[in-house]
Each structure stands twice: as C-alpha cells, then as structure tokens.
Amino acid sequence: MKSQSGVSTPFVVIAEFEVKPECLSDFLALARDDAQHSLADESGCRQFDIVRVEDTTPRVVFYEVYDDRAAFDAHLQTPHLSRFRGGFPALIVAERPVRFGAREHS
C-alpha cells in the first residue's frame, strides 16, 4: 500500500485462532517457531507478535507487520509457515478470517 506521499506503508496481517485448551502449549510452540523464523529469516518482516487473549476458550492473535504486500507474499512461501500450516489445524477449534491493513503513523 502506498501513502499519500507515495511511500510504501507497512502491511499489517491479523490472524486469530480459537485454540483447544488442552492444545495451547503445542499451538504456541508452533506459533513461536513461525514468528522467530519470520523475524530472523525474512528481511521484509518487521514485527510478529503472538497475543494470548484472555477468554473462556484460549484465543491467540498474530499481529504481523511486513514492509509491503510482496514481503508478506514471500512469507507465504517459507518452510516455517509450511510447518505451522501443517501442524495447527488439529490444535484449534476455529480460525477467524485473516484481516489485512496498513499501519498508520502518528
């Protein structure tokens, strides 16, 4: 996305999962692997936060920031995301639709 000045604005990805309570530690281990490798191995990944939302059923939100959409598209091809995608479905109750946005600066 481009700002009004023509400069690329950071591309934000928000993913949310409702996790089976008995599977929370396994889910978080997979999530940490994805986040750590995203930050270490992807030059276009600026931020990857894993947020546990307090609720009756554990919810986990990923807040990811990439240089631009192309950097996120490159993330989609990585081995660490492939590992996460292969492992998480058995650990969750539901996955919310992924949301995209642009980070605004004050």
Task: Give the H or E element holding residue 37.
Answer: helix 24-41
62 belongs to a structural domain? yes
The pLDDT tens digits for 31-68 are 999 999 999 999 999 999 999 998 778 999 999 999 99
- Mean pLDDT, rounded, of the chain: 91
Q: Strand, coil or helix: what is 42?
A: coil
Residue with tokens 């600066």: 105
pTM of the complete model: 0.89
24 belongs to a structural domain? yes
The total number of structural domains that make up the chain = 1
CB 10 within 8 A of CB 97: no
11 belongs to a structural domain? no
58 belongs to a structural domain? yes
Residue with tokens 């554990």: 58
Strand-pair category, 11-19 with 99-102: antiparallel
63 belongs to a structural domain? yes
CATH number at residue 66: 3.30.70.100
Per-residue CA distances from 82 to 3, 33, 39, 43, 53 (Å): 32, 11, 16, 18, 24
Range of the domain at 83: 19-100
87 belongs to a structural domain? yes
Q: Which residues contact 16 (CB under 8 A, 6 or more apart)?
A: 59, 60, 61, 62, 95, 96
Q: What is the C-alpha to C-alpha distance for residues 55 and 101, in angstroms, rounded to an integer?
A: 25
What whole-number percentage of the chain has pLDDT above 90? 83
